[in-house]
Amino acid sequence: MTTPTIGVLALQGDVREHLRALGTLGVGALAVRRPSELEACDALVLPGGESTTMAKLARTFELFEPVRDRIKRGMPAFGTCAGMILLAERVEDGTADQETMGGLDITVRRNAFGRQVDSFEGDLAFAGLDSPVHALFIRAPWVEQVGEAVQVLATVTHGEAAGRIVAVRQDHLMATSFHPEVGADHRIHSLFVDLVKQS
């Protein structure tokens, strides 16, 4: 099979880190700022950042509807932190004008782990990986509810947030509350690349 091209929505947030992670896995990685760049992609990463700002910028750059449409038609997508919020069908504690692109049958709680000062990191067991991943949470959401078709990939195992869902997959869509693009462990990106190749 030909090497897939995976875009990273490049309007705000951890764009460079995702492009670097994808590049190390040998796939084509492309920063996406306009509809023509989206058309050149087989899949899309929605990075961490600020979900309401990203949605507004996507509207400004005429990317919001094209991304939503491609996801509906089966384009694989991977959302991290704010990207998870953008892929969710439902948002708790959102702003009055909160918009999502949807696709994942989940309810997320925005800033569930608290403010920037409440950011933390820890090891998580992750479905499909044989050893834990080191997860960095920055003003992260968590998943309050999942639909029947959603597979839970990781939950927090200790502390006040024990049991909270922080990674999910549904068909061609994947999302994490945390930032797997930070650091040198690209196994979660590798799982997404596998998903893209299967699609």
CATH of domain 5-198: 3.40.50.880
Residue percentage of the chain with pLDDT more than 70: 96
Q: pLDDT tens digit string along 30-87?
A: 999 999 999 999 999 999 989 999 999 999 999 999 999 999 999 999 999 999 999 9
What is the per-residue burial (b if ≥16 Cβ within 10 Å, else e) of 2-23?
A: eebbbbbbbbbbbbebbbbbbe
Q: Where are the domains of the chain?
A: 5-198
Per the listing, tokens 């003003």 go with 139
pLDDT tens string 152-198: 999 998 777 888 999 999 999 999 999 999 989 999 999 999 999 99
Catalytic residue among 172, 181, 186, 189: 181
Which residues lie across from 104 on neighbouring strands? 88
Q: Are 5 and 44 in contact (CB under 8 A)?
A: no
Nearest to 82 by CA among 165, 12, 184: 12
d(CA 24, CA 22): 5
Question: What pLDDT digit, counting tens, does each position of 130-164 carry?
Answer: 999 999 888 889 999 999 999 999 999 877 788 89
- What share of the chain has pLDDT > 90, as a percent? 79
Cα dihedral sign for 47, 51, 52, 55? positive
**Does 172 qualify as catalytic in the annotation?**
no
> Which residue in the list 17, 18, 41, 81 is annotated as catalytic?
81
